[in-house]
Protein backbone atom coordinates (compact mmCIF):
# COMPACT_ATOMS: atom_id res chain seq x y z
CA UNK A 1 0.00 0.00 0.00
CA UNK A 2 1.18 3.54 -0.58
CA UNK A 3 2.02 5.96 2.22
CA UNK A 4 -1.40 7.57 1.66
CA UNK A 5 -3.39 4.37 2.18
CA UNK A 6 -3.02 2.00 5.09
CA UNK A 7 -4.45 -1.47 5.57
CA UNK A 8 -5.58 -2.01 9.13
CA UNK A 9 -6.36 -5.48 10.48
CA UNK A 10 -8.90 -5.40 13.31
CA UNK A 11 -9.68 -8.74 14.94
CA UNK A 12 -9.21 -10.74 11.74
CA UNK A 13 -10.98 -8.27 9.44
CA UNK A 14 -9.29 -5.93 6.99
CA UNK A 15 -10.01 -2.23 6.67
CA UNK A 16 -8.30 0.47 4.66
CA UNK A 17 -7.92 4.09 5.62
CA UNK A 18 -6.76 7.03 3.54
CA UNK A 19 -4.57 9.75 5.02
CA UNK A 20 -6.58 12.93 5.62
CA UNK A 21 -5.47 16.23 4.20
CA UNK A 22 -3.47 18.31 6.66
CA UNK A 23 -6.22 20.91 6.99
CA UNK A 24 -8.89 18.26 7.59
CA UNK A 25 -6.69 16.87 10.36
CA UNK A 26 -6.20 20.34 11.88
CA UNK A 27 -9.93 21.07 11.72
CA UNK A 28 -10.74 17.75 13.37
CA UNK A 29 -8.30 18.47 16.20
CA UNK A 30 -9.71 21.95 16.69
CA UNK A 31 -13.24 20.51 16.87
CA UNK A 32 -12.17 18.08 19.61
CA UNK A 33 -10.75 20.98 21.60
CA UNK A 34 -13.98 22.98 21.05
CA UNK A 35 -16.01 20.09 22.44
CA UNK A 36 -13.76 19.82 25.49
CA UNK A 37 -14.20 23.57 26.06
CA UNK A 38 -17.96 23.43 25.31
CA UNK A 39 -18.48 20.88 28.03
CA UNK A 40 -16.22 22.73 30.47
CA UNK A 41 -13.76 19.89 30.79
CA UNK A 42 -10.77 20.73 32.96
CA UNK A 43 -7.57 19.94 31.04
CA UNK A 44 -5.26 20.64 33.97
CA UNK A 45 -4.53 16.91 34.27
CA UNK A 46 -3.78 14.70 31.32
CA UNK A 47 -5.73 15.25 28.15
CA UNK A 48 -6.51 11.51 28.18
CA UNK A 49 -8.44 12.07 31.39
CA UNK A 50 -10.13 15.13 29.89
CA UNK A 51 -11.13 13.17 26.79
CA UNK A 52 -12.56 10.39 28.93
CA UNK A 53 -14.58 12.94 30.93
CA UNK A 54 -15.70 14.58 27.68
CA UNK A 55 -17.08 11.28 26.41
CA UNK A 56 -19.37 10.98 29.40
CA UNK A 57 -20.79 14.41 28.51
CA UNK A 58 -21.11 14.03 24.74
CA UNK A 59 -24.57 14.10 23.36
CA UNK A 60 -25.60 11.99 20.39
CA UNK A 61 -25.06 14.80 17.90
CA UNK A 62 -21.48 15.47 19.05
CA UNK A 63 -20.66 11.75 19.11
CA UNK A 64 -21.98 11.19 15.61
CA UNK A 65 -20.23 14.30 14.28
CA UNK A 66 -16.84 13.21 15.63
CA UNK A 67 -17.16 9.59 14.59
CA UNK A 68 -18.50 10.13 11.08
CA UNK A 69 -16.21 13.05 10.29
CA UNK A 70 -13.25 10.86 11.19
CA UNK A 71 -14.54 7.86 9.22
CA UNK A 72 -15.59 9.91 6.17
CA UNK A 73 -12.47 12.07 5.92
CA UNK A 74 -10.36 8.91 6.30
CA UNK A 75 -12.45 7.08 3.68
CA UNK A 76 -12.54 3.99 5.88
CA UNK A 77 -13.51 0.91 3.92
CA UNK A 78 -14.19 -2.61 5.13
CA UNK A 79 -12.47 -4.91 2.65
CA UNK A 80 -14.69 -7.86 3.64
CA UNK A 81 -17.86 -6.26 2.26
CA UNK A 82 -16.22 -3.42 0.26
CA UNK A 83 -18.38 -0.82 2.05
CA UNK A 84 -17.22 2.68 2.90
CA UNK A 85 -18.02 3.28 6.56
CA UNK A 86 -19.62 6.67 6.11
CA UNK A 87 -23.12 6.29 7.54
CA UNK A 88 -25.18 4.24 9.96
CA UNK A 89 -26.32 1.86 7.23
CA UNK A 90 -22.74 0.89 6.42
CA UNK A 91 -21.91 0.49 10.10
CA UNK A 92 -24.98 -1.69 10.65
CA UNK A 93 -24.06 -3.87 7.65
CA UNK A 94 -20.45 -4.21 8.82
CA UNK A 95 -20.78 -4.57 12.59
CA UNK A 96 -23.10 -6.44 14.89
CA UNK A 97 -23.75 -6.10 18.60
CA UNK A 98 -20.79 -8.34 19.40
CA UNK A 99 -18.20 -6.26 17.51
CA UNK A 100 -19.55 -2.69 17.24
CA UNK A 101 -16.79 -1.49 19.58
CA UNK A 102 -14.31 -2.32 16.79
CA UNK A 103 -15.36 0.87 15.00
CA UNK A 104 -13.61 2.83 17.75
CA UNK A 105 -10.43 0.82 17.21
CA UNK A 106 -10.60 1.83 13.55
CA UNK A 107 -11.20 5.46 14.56
CA UNK A 108 -8.09 5.35 16.74
CA UNK A 109 -6.07 4.07 13.77
CA UNK A 110 -7.36 7.03 11.74
CA UNK A 111 -6.17 9.41 14.45
CA UNK A 112 -2.74 7.77 14.57
CA UNK A 113 -2.40 7.73 10.77
CA UNK A 114 -3.63 11.22 9.90
CA UNK A 115 -4.09 13.55 12.83
CA UNK A 116 -1.18 12.78 15.16
CA UNK A 117 1.49 13.31 12.45
CA UNK A 118 0.02 16.70 11.48
CA UNK A 119 -0.06 17.86 15.10
CA UNK A 120 3.53 16.64 15.62
CA UNK A 121 4.65 18.32 12.38
CA UNK A 122 3.19 21.66 13.46
CA UNK A 123 4.91 21.41 16.81
CA UNK A 124 8.26 20.41 15.28
CA UNK A 125 8.31 22.82 12.34
CA UNK A 126 6.77 25.98 13.76
CA UNK A 127 6.55 25.35 17.48
CA UNK A 128 2.76 25.32 17.47
CA UNK A 129 1.62 22.75 19.99
CA UNK A 130 -2.05 22.51 19.18
CA UNK A 131 -2.42 19.11 20.65
CA UNK A 132 -1.70 18.95 24.37
CA UNK A 133 -1.01 15.36 23.31
CA UNK A 134 -3.62 14.75 20.62
CA UNK A 135 -2.97 11.05 20.28
CA UNK A 136 -3.32 10.60 24.03
CA UNK A 137 -6.51 12.63 24.15
CA UNK A 138 -8.08 10.70 21.29
CA UNK A 139 -6.95 7.40 22.77
CA UNK A 140 -8.62 8.41 26.04
CA UNK A 141 -11.80 9.40 24.26
CA UNK A 142 -11.96 6.22 22.21
CA UNK A 143 -11.05 4.03 25.19
CA UNK A 144 -13.89 5.63 27.13
CA UNK A 145 -16.24 4.75 24.26
CA UNK A 146 -14.95 1.18 24.27
CA UNK A 147 -15.49 0.86 28.03
CA UNK A 148 -19.12 1.91 27.69
CA UNK A 149 -19.71 -0.61 24.89
CA UNK A 150 -17.91 -3.68 26.20
CA UNK A 151 -19.08 -5.46 29.33
CA UNK A 152 -16.55 -5.96 32.13
CA UNK A 153 -15.05 -9.44 32.31
CA UNK A 154 -16.37 -11.69 35.01
CA UNK A 155 -14.13 -12.90 37.83
CA UNK A 156 -13.97 -16.68 38.04
CA UNK A 157 -13.29 -16.71 41.78
CA UNK A 158 -13.01 -14.19 44.61
CA UNK A 159 -9.21 -14.25 44.23
CA UNK A 160 -9.48 -13.37 40.52
CA UNK A 161 -8.21 -16.73 39.28
Q: Is residue 153 part of a domain?
A: no
User: To 5 degrees, how large is the angle CA 93–CA 146–CA 158?
Assistant: 125
Classified as helix, coil or strand, 110 is: helix
Q: Is residue 30 part of a domain?
A: yes
Query: Mind listing the pLDDT tens digit for each residue in 95-150?
Result: 999 999 899 889 889 988 988 887 777 666 665 555 444 455 555 556 655 666 65
**What is the pTM (predicted TM-score) of this model?**
0.70
Query: Mind listing the pLDDT tens digit for each residue in 63-81?
Result: 888 889 999 999 999 999 9
Count the domains in the chain. Answer: 1
Residue 55, domain extent: 5-148
Q: Looking at residue 107, what DSSP letter applies?
A: H
DSSP of 39-77: TT---SS-HHHHHHHHHHH--HHHHHHHHHHHHHHTT-E
Q: Is residue 154 part of a domain?
A: no
Amino acid sequence: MSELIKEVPIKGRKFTIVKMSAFDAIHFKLRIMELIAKHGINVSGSLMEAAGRAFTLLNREDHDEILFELLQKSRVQCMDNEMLLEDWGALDATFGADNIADVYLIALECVKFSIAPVAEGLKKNIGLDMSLNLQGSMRGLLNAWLKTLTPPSEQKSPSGE
